Amino acid sequence: MQRDRGERHVLQYQQTLMYGRYTQELGAYAKEEAARLREDGALRRSAGVRSQTPEQLEYEKDPCAKCQLCTSRCQRFLISRVGEDWIFLILLGLVMALVSWVMDYTIAFCQQAQKWMYGGLDSNMLLQYLAWVTYPVVLITFSAGFTQILAPQAVGSGIPEMKTILRGVVLKEYLTFKTFVAKVIGLTCALGSGMPLGKEGPFVHVASLCAALLSKFMALFGGIYMLKEEPFEGNKNELRNTEMLSAACAVGVGCCFAAPIGGVLFSIEVTSTFFAVRNYWRGFFAATFSAFIFRVLAVWNKDEETITALFKTRFRLDFPFDLQELPAFAVLGIASGFGGALFVYLNRLIVESMRKQKTINKFLLKKRLVYPALVTLLVSTLTFPPGFGQFMAGQLTQHESLVALFDNRTWYKQGVAEEFEYASHPQAWKHPQVSVFITLLLFIVMKFWMSAVATTMPVPCGAFMPVFLIGAAFGRLVGESMAAVFPEGIHTDSTVYPIVPGGYAVVGAAALSGAVTHTVSTAVIVFELTGQISHILPVMIAVILANAVAQSLQPSLYDSIIRIQKLPYLPELGWGQEKYNIRVEDIMVRDVRHITLSSTYRDLQEALLAGHLKTLALVESRESMILLGSIERSQLQSLLSEQLGRTRRLEYLRERAQDNGAHVPSFSQDSSPKASRGVRFLDGPDVEDDMSTAEIAEWEEQQLDESVNFNNCKIDPAPFQLVERTSLHKTHTIFSLLGLDHAYVTSTGRLVGVVSLKELRKAIEGSVTVTGVKVRPPLASFRDSGTSSSVSEVTELHKLWSRHRSLSLPREPNLPDLGDQLEQPSEGSLVNETDCTELSSQNSPLHTEDQSEITYADATPSEDHRSELPCDSDSAHHLEDFSETASEDGLVQNDELACEGSPSIADDQPE
């Protein structure tokens, strides 16, 4: 199990219409390999070509050498390794505070500029409209274009990706400087446009980028940030990096809202499954420092007199709310729960329906900037203040709206327009003809779908803030209604305590954002944002109820995006008895790819082509099946390529030449005209390699029959093991805790099966019928009968899974190619046709056998070895075939069941 933490999947980014998507690299490799071999084969047929040289296996080692130079020079300047940690956290906090503040400043400037333009043109309505609309369209288009060109990985929130990264998956190019620049500039432009977009999620990503870059930077000075490669312990930095990233997430939220505690908690809730308490401390430290600097900058800039909350409220302290108001707060919470689930559903529906509309999609994919421009045009047209915007406070920015909604006066009773002294924001809510209730209602409804649509644009953007705002408006609506119903307050004693609708706004904001993100720490965030904690109980009650409802109906927004993006994340276990009854033996794959101590290179080749996991099991013998350890794919591939490589062939030729002089072996007679059979002595020991293709093939056949020499092979002697009776619950816990990718199942030392993330995910989804649920809440049953379109598919999966369980017998390793069966289009595939060619080929597993899976590529630098993997023409053909047949029907995988003749199932979309 030593290596398991190190077995990270590298996923490559692929730009799709709305959310980007990470795809499995090995699939892509398979396609490339097929193409290469096809080409290669063609070449070979026409002429004898040199095999590729093993020199290609070398990695660039220059950066490392550079580092070491710097190290020796700068090490003395570092206080100590312990100090480095603190310096790192302080630097991170400082940089992020600066970024956050500068970004806020720029965004405010952009928004002011729009208002100024709009205000300056008040003579002409049309010009005003054009100015109002063009400005955001330009900004958003620029943001989308800039991001796409520089680093498409910067698109979207960032929390789903960070969640996946902290789970142990490497997302390629996700933490680079280019992405940092793209994210920061893209986000500033996107938010500057005044669209209903948020800053929180992207800031988590920005902070992580910052931490990653800072680590690299500090590595220049040596110390713990230096990457060192060591067998079986090469990932000593990995733990540390995870810890730093986890602190960075806290900093991201913390300096975005000046909410250090809420930031730490929120980042824990949205990114972790198991949290190391020792990281808590770091998160707190860095987030506090960052929030402090962020607010100090505001003071220095004379925006504020002293450090206070971002959206300071001024509710009365002595009697914040009446006990009898609690039912209203509870109702607000429950309604927010439904609203939150609806938001997540709507967001996913938009993405999925856009992907399904093939004509539109095809067009939009070509002109990627059209979609964001259109959305922006629509949204800004609707908020045009002299137009429809007058009924929904369209002229206010998010910040202004929120300040107004948290206002501590009652709009309904006092009439909004007259009394407001500070700023004119709340005036926007008061329309001469329309009551404030209508304005609020329109605001909520319009912003709701606008936010859901806007967050699907391919720009860096989050959904937290828009949702927070909608929640606040909803709370204000409920509060104003309460104030209208009980104008004298509910309290019956001597003192009259009127109802405070602003308190409802705070509660609503926390509840709705909590429902969408499935977190309870939004409660803490609102306290820190408003600087008042007097409404703690209503907030907590509403947030918990909202969570209970929302979690029963939908996954969290982040889990939803994880599914849309198909990131390899293990869903949470639900809470039900059934989990305790499922055991590893019910879900494990019994036909484990393995090699024995006496395996030949041919066995190795077969195992490599057939297997899907990053490691192969090494057993004593096929009879005893005693598990000795596991070997990485890349290790075996290099063994194999060495065995069949040019060096070895040259050696063979040399030996043969020494033996028989210039005698030419003539076992293969179908020579190409150009093939000269002689071995020419060039300079001393060098021989020229001019064996014909057929000769090479024959030679390779010989080589393959030799038995493998494991001497120079790194073997992990203790891969993670489970027993057949281990429960699903425990397996899930262990996988989550240790970030495993797979575990072997043994029975008294004998290897009997293997469980990978995929089986586990299937088992969980099959058993709870839904994914992403954290704690199975009391309303969980609603979800099963919910509006989600994915239920039928899940049931299908469940059936399959049950069948599998009943039929789980060891199967023969080599079955005929099932490619033809795969041609049937899979029902319920949510991938549009346009994507298909690209996608399916990237995801197509190497399925010479019955149990091919989505294949995760490995993270080791030795990936390059794969391009050295020799494939005989059969398997090359096979790869070709597959990439052709499978390219029609999206992400098709043949399940373990496929070998029993069942139709193919697109089970990579488990929703």
Which pair of structure tokens corresponds to residue 850?
A: 């019955």
Q: Which residue among 272, 481, 668, 873 contacts its own copies (CB under 8 A)? A: 272
Phi and psi (nearest 5°) for 741?
-105, -35
Count CB-CB contacts under 10 A for residue 309. 17
Interface positions, 579-608, toward its own copies (CB under 8 A): 580, 583
Does residue 176 touch its own copies according to CB under 8 A? no
47/307 with CB nearer its own copies: 307
176/727 with CB nearer its own copies: 727
DSSP 381-398: HHT-TTTGGGGTTTTS-H
From residue 454 to residue 493, what is the string marking binding to its own copies with x (rule CB under 8 A)? -------------------------------------x-x
Does residue 540 touch its own copies according to CB under 8 A? yes
Q: Which residue among 187, 214, 265, 465 contacts its own copies (CB under 8 A)? A: 265
Please give the Cα distance from 238 to 228 (Å, whole number). 11
Q: Which residue among 52, 227, 275, 825 contacts its own copies (CB under 8 A)? A: 275
- Single out the segment in contact with its own copies by CB under 8 A; choices: 29-37, 118-126, 293-301, 837-845: 293-301
- Contacts with its own copies by CB under 8 A: the residue count is 107
Does residue 541 touch its own copies according to CB under 8 A? yes
Q: How far is the CB of 847 from its own copies (least distance, A)?
A: 30
Measured CA to CA in angstroms, residue 144 lies from 26, 155, 367, 565, 676 at distances of 29, 8, 11, 18, 58
- Single out the segment in contact with its own copies by CB under 8 A; choices: 333-341, 382-390, 734-742, 797-805: 734-742
Does residue 221 touch its own copies according to CB under 8 A? no
Q: How far is the CB of 259 from its own copies (least distance, A)?
A: 9
Q: How far is the CB of 301 from its own copies (least distance, A)?
A: 13
Collapse the DSSP code of 809 into the 3-class scheme (helix H, G, I; strand E, B; otherwise coil) and give the result. Answer: coil
Phi and psi (nearest 5°) for 619?
-115, 165
Which candidate, 249, 246, 260, places its Cα nearest to that of 309? Answer: 260
Q: How far is the CB of 135 from its own copies (least distance, A)?
A: 36
Q: Which residue among 69, 438, 775, 807 contacts its own copies (CB under 8 A)? A: 775
DSSP 872-908: -HHHHHHHHHHHHHGGGSSS-B--GGGGGTPPPB-TT
Please give the Cα distance from 482 to 489 (Å, whole number). 9
54/531 with CB nearer its own copies: 531
Q: Which residue has the tokens 């600097």?
A: 293
Q: Are 512 and 542 in contact (CB under 8 A)?
A: no
Angle 582-808-632 from CA coordinates, rounded to 5° = 85
Please give the Cα distance from 158 to 168 (Å, whole number). 15
Q: Which residue among 733, 789, 821, 862 contacts its own copies (CB under 8 A)? A: 733
Interface positions, 697-726, toward its own copies (CB under 8 A): 715-718, 721-723, 725-726
- Single out the segment in contact with its own copies by CB under 8 A; choices: 76-84, 363-371, 394-402, 605-613: 76-84
Which candidate, 739, 742, 738, 741, places its Cα nearest to that of 751? Answer: 742
11/543 with CB nearer its own copies: 543
Interface positions, 681-700, toward its own copies (CB under 8 A): none
65/82 with CB nearer its own copies: 82
Q: Are 595 and 603 in contact (CB under 8 A)?
A: yes
Q: Which residue among 82, 126, 149, 809 contacts its own copies (CB under 8 A)? A: 82
Interface positions, 4-63, toward its own copies (CB under 8 A): 5
Q: How far is the CB of 555 from its own copies (least distance, A)?
A: 14
| Beta strands 10-14 and 21-24, pairing class | antiparallel
Which pair of structure tokens corresponds to residue 535?
A: 């409404």
Q: Which residue among 227, 484, 536, 791 contacts its own copies (CB under 8 A)? A: 536
* Kind and range of the H or E run holding 716: strand 715-716
Which candidate, 764, 337, 348, places its Cα nearest to that of 551? Answer: 337
| Beta strands 615-619 and 594-596, pairing class | parallel
Does residue 577 touch its own copies according to CB under 8 A? yes
Please give the Cα distance from 386 to 632 (Å, whole number). 66
Q: Are 288 and 254 in contact (CB under 8 A)?
A: yes
Q: Is the dihedral of CA 783, 787, 788, 791 positive or negative?
A: positive
Angle 632-634-640 from CA coordinates, rounded to 5° = 110
Does residue 166 touch its own copies according to CB under 8 A? no
Which candidate, 322, 306, 375, places its Cα nearest to that of 144? Answer: 375
Q: Which residue among 671, 747, 789, 873 contacts its own copies (CB under 8 A)? A: 747
Does residue 628 touch its own copies according to CB under 8 A? yes
Q: What residues form DSSP beta bridges with 747?
A: 750
Please give the Cα distance from 788 to 798 (Å, whole number). 16
Q: Which residue among 17, 453, 524, 550 contacts its own copies (CB under 8 A)? A: 524
Q: How far is the CB of 748 from its own copies (least distance, A)?
A: 4
* Kind and range of the H or E run holding 558: helix 557-565
277/682 with CB nearer its own copies: 277
Does residue 276 touch its own copies according to CB under 8 A? yes
Q: Which residue among 346, 734, 791, 815 contacts its own copies (CB under 8 A)? A: 734
364/859 with CB nearer its own copies: 859
Q: What residues form DSSP beta bridges with 716?
A: 630
Interface positions, 304-363, toward its own copies (CB under 8 A): 305-309, 312, 314, 317-323
78/382 with CB nearer its own copies: 78
From residue 809 to residue 828, what is the string marking binding to its own copies with x (rule CB under 8 A)? --------------------
From residue 222 to residue 261, what is the string marking binding to its own copies with x (rule CB under 8 A)? -xx------xxx--x--x--------------------xx
Q: How far is the CB of 717 from its own copies (least distance, A)?
A: 4
Q: Are 220 and 214 in contact (CB under 8 A)?
A: no
Please give the Cα distance from 201 to 186 (Å, whole number). 14
Q: How far is the CB of 330 from its own copies (least distance, A)?
A: 11
Q: Which residue among 43, 533, 662, 807 contacts its own copies (CB under 8 A)? A: 533
Q: Which residue among 327, 749, 810, 861 contacts its own copies (CB under 8 A)? A: 749
Does residue 291 touch its own copies according to CB under 8 A? yes
Does residue 629 touch its own copies according to CB under 8 A? yes
Please give the Cα distance from 615 to 630 (Å, whole number). 6
Angle 904-909-911 from CA coordinates, rounded to 5° = 125
Does residue 746 touch its own copies according to CB under 8 A? yes
Please give the Cα distance from 708 to 599 (Å, whole number). 6
Q: How far is the CB of 733 from its own copies (least distance, A)?
A: 7
Helical ranges in 383-521 per DSSP H = 398-405, 411-414, 416-419, 436-454, 464-485, 501-517
Q: How far is the CB of 8 from its own copies (least distance, A)?
A: 16
280/391 with CB nearer its own copies: 280
Which pair of structure tokens corresponds to residue 374?
A: 């259109």
- Single out the segment in contact with its own copies by CB under 8 A; choices: 38-46, 371-379, 528-536, 869-877: 528-536
Please give the Cα distance from 263 to 269 (Å, whole number). 10
85/480 with CB nearer its own copies: 85
- Single out the segment in contact with its own copies by CB under 8 A; choices: 203-211, 463-471, 571-579, 894-902: 571-579
Please give the Cα distance from 81 to 221 (Å, whole number). 11
DSSP structure class, residue 598: T
Which candidate, 556, 543, 560, 534, places its Cα nearest to that of 335? Answer: 543
Does residue 547 touch its own copies according to CB under 8 A? yes
Q: What residues form DSSP beta bridges with 745?
A: 722, 753
Does residue 780 touch its own copies according to CB under 8 A? yes
Q: Which residue among 161, 200, 269, 695 contacts its own copies (CB under 8 A)? A: 269
